[in-house]
Structure 1
Amino acid sequence: MKAVVISSFGGPEVLELSEVPEPPVGPRDVLIEVAAAGVNRADVSQREGNYPAPKGAPEWPGLEVSGTVAALGHEVSEFAVGDEVCALLSGGGYAERVSVPVEQVLPVPSTVSLVDAAGLVEVAATVWSNVFLLADLRAGETLLVHGGSSGIGTMAIQLARARGARVAVTAGSAAKLDACRKLGAEILINYKTEDFVGRLKAEGPGAHVILDSIGGSYLERNVRALAMDGHLLNIGNLGGTPGLLNFGPLMMKRGTIHATSLRARSAAAKGAIVSSLRENVWPLIESREVKPVIFARIPLAEAAEAHRLLESSSHIGKVVLTT
């Protein structure tokens, strides 16, 4: 089969469409004929040599796909050949076919196209596992999302609003902030011209939960922006710099800092998150309260262009690769 491989670590140009072996199908695996694959920042990090695939995962990138069930392991009864599904992966999504444990597979919601479902699972799993399962965001509380117009940001806004929370976002342009507003964000902060700490404090007690992919350079300000008993969730380090932490302010607020990742978790841990998604998030998608926000659909052979688009930060929502 064909897959997009990383010929050497470097820029987008190192992504090449190549022939690779067919994936094996274990007793509890589902073989998916891929319709589309989501493009994520983790894929960029892997291409650059900073985020290697976990042991046992394919070496080519791709953390989520949608497609049609092509074959089933002999112990799988939850799906049938021909079903339209989407799945959370440990890697290997930039390909024509992928094999994935059945626990990480979900049906495509009836309100979402097969291609667009490729941009659904990874962001929903990231937001749900962090903001709700870990930090327990509740109705009436405030969620601050850095990078509100990103794929993760657009999902976080919608899920928080659907659960009755108030949403604040940071973004770098009026167009991106307007997109966040249309999804339900109420506090819109242009990080280029406004101090998010001051704005959060002017609007109330601060953020009960902060979802941050910037990392070290935002650490001190994030702590100051927290409300009492608040949770700071670090899911990335796009800023690329370390941060200094004064424990005094964090202790005075009884604050908690969580640093998390999704990819390297066990199949059982991912399966638990996927099961919770099906129970709690999929009904919101079926009722159209939540939807994937797709910015571009790009052919698999042009994966390098998709990475250039992602790195430009000019997109709003998700980029997907179509087969």
Structure 2
Amino acid sequence: MKAAVLKAFGSPLVVEEVPDPVIGTGEVIVDVAAAPVLAYADEVFSGARRYLLPPPVIPGCGAIGRVRTVGPDATVLQAGDWVFCDPTVRSRDDARMPDIVLQGWSARGDGGQRLQQYHRHGGFAEQLRVPTENAIRIGPITEAEAGPWCALTTLLVPYGGLLAADLRAGETLLVSGATGHFGSAAVAVGLAMGAACIVAPGRNRAVLADLVRRFGDRIRPVTLTGDEETDRARMRAAAPGPIDCVLDTLPPSVGSPVVRAAVMSVRPGGQVVLMGGVGMLGGDDLALPYPWIMRNDVTVRGKWMYPPDAVARLAGLIRAGLLRLEDYAVAEFPLAAANEAVAHAAGHGGPFRLTVLRPGPA
């Protein structure tokens, strides 16, 4: 099969013939129809993000495709089924604290790196081998719809955070980083889950206005000033009542005061979920007052990715028309143009934009 291979950090991807994946027990082989190219892929491939992705490797975080072959433990999946290849691979020998790897993208800890030695290659290829539980049926689609369905890779991340926060219909949500790629997805997912109102802070007035255009008066935009106290007051004033939940999706380039301004706008008894990258590349870490957390009974938790059942649940929101893939502008590239796709993704990121590779039929 053909694949785009990262030979070394800082080097272009090389599209070449590689051996077809070989199925084992508990695995599925998928013919890849489309694979998302994340906006920061160039930072990963250059080594700037210092991800644990030892080259040579076929990268790619998730894919949409059709089942080619199933192993002996599959009781529902059949050849030809359309599936989302979930890159979040969990070890099977510790149900309480499984090691996790993002297949074709990164790993964490010693156990994750050991897992990565086997579940290594991602979706920038004509075929992909995944654990049986990671080939998740999404129902029938056309070949042309494979690209837009790659938005699952983006939408699932904030969905995992909102599930962790136990967001309830009718609650008020604040999305810190609402004008970004994952933050705008959090806005769409939060509305699909029934949020009555979403406070959307950001510096980009055009993107804030676009969120209101897309979703109406359930969006309460807040233009940030850079002053922590002023911005917190503006966020609270924009909400129709107490803010029940804050979800942070800000990238590593943002300073901790911006996060703190949003986090401390939550009501007493509220939920805060941290999913961003602040502090990952240096700079001050997030500091929150102990008395404020304790006396206000605030829950602050981190969340990485999403639970195993999230894919099917999110697909249900899409099938029900509560979450619209049509909101995404999709730019598609053939596998031979993998480097062009990475460059395009870097220059055309942001809200409701999606770059995909099409290793299979267009």
TM-score for both structures, normalised by structure 1: 0.82
Residue 294 of structure 2 corresponds to which residue in structure 1? 251
Deviation at 1:32, TM superposition (A): 0.9
Tell me whether 285-294 or 300-309 shows the greater mean CA deviation.
300-309
One-letter amino acid matched to 1:69: V
Q: Is 1:213 aligned with 2:250?
A: yes
The structure 2 residue matched to 1:303, chosen from 338, 347, 354, is 338
SS at match of 2:346: helix
SS at match of 1:81: coil
Query: RMSD across aligned C-alpha pairs, in angstroms?
Result: 3.0
Tell me whether 158-167 or 187-196 shows the greater mean CA deviation.
187-196
The structure 2 residue matched to 1:153, chosen from 153, 159, 183, is 183
Larger radius of gyration, structure 1 or 2?
2
CA contact (8 A) 1:110 1:286 kept: no
One-letter amino acid matched to 2:314: V
The structure 1 residue matched to 2:200, chosen from 169, 192, 200, is 169
Q: Distance in 1 between matches of 2:204 and 2:64?
A: 31
Q: Is 1:70 aligned with 2:103?
A: no
Q: Which runs of 5+ in 2 are unaligned?
A: 88-102, 105-121
Residue 94 of structure 2 corresponds to which residue in structure 1? none
What's the CA shift string for 1:161-195, capped at 9, x where partnerless? 12221212234434322332213551113346896
Q: Distance in 2 between matches of 1:199 and 1:261?
A: 29
Residue 323 of structure 2 corresponds to which residue in structure 1? 290
Deviation at 1:14, TM superposition (A): 2.7
- Is the alpha carbon distance of 1:149 and 1:313 closer, same or farther for their aligned partners in structure 2, counting shifts above 3 Å? farther
SS at match of 1:140: coil
Q: Distance in 2 between matches of 1:84 and 1:124?
A: 18
Residue 52 of structure 1 corresponds to which residue in structure 2? 52
What's the CA shift string for 1:124-176, capped at 9, x where partnerless? 432232211x1111122222223335443343223321222121223443432
- State how 1:106-117 maps to structure 2 within 5 Å: 106-110=136-140, 113-117=145-149
Residue 14 of structure 1 corresponds to which residue in structure 2? 12
SS at match of 2:337: helix
SS at match of 2:25: coil
Deviation at 1:236, TM superposition (A): 2.7
Residue 322 of structure 1 corresponds to which residue in structure 2? 358
Residue 168 of structure 2 corresponds to which residue in structure 1? 138
The percent identity for this pair of structures is 27
Tell me whether 64-73 or 246-255 shows the greater mean CA deviation.
246-255
The structure 2 residue matched to 1:197, chosen from 212, 232, 245, is 232
TM-score for both structures, normalised by structure 2: 0.74
SS at match of 1:281: helix
Q: Which runs of 5+ in 1 are unaligned?
A: 263-269
The structure 2 residue matched to 1:32, chosen from 27, 30, 33, is 30
One-letter amino acid matched to 2:275: I
One-letter amino acid matched to 2:321: R
Q: Distance in 1 between matches of 2:316 and 2:57?
A: 34
Residue 267 of structure 1 corresponds to which residue in structure 2? none
One-letter amino acid matched to 2:24: G
CA contact (8 A) 2:148 2:330 kept: no
- Is the alpha carbon distance of 1:304 and 1:174 closer, same or farther for their aligned partners in structure 2, counting shifts above 3 Å? farther
- Is the alpha carbon distance of 1:231 and 1:256 closer, same or farther for their aligned partners in structure 2, counting shifts above 3 Å? same
SS at match of 1:170: strand
Q: Distance in 1 between matches of 2:180 and 2:318?
A: 18
- Is the alpha carbon distance of 1:256 and 1:302 closer, same or farther for their aligned partners in structure 2, counting shifts above 3 Å? farther
Q: Distance in 1 between matches of 2:67 and 2:179?
A: 32
- Is the alpha carbon distance of 1:238 and 1:244 closer, same or farther for their aligned partners in structure 2, counting shifts above 3 Å? closer
Q: Distance in 1 between matches of 2:85 and 2:270?
A: 32
Q: Distance in 1 between matches of 2:147 and 2:292?
A: 46
Q: Distance in 2 between matches of 1:35 and 1:41?
A: 20
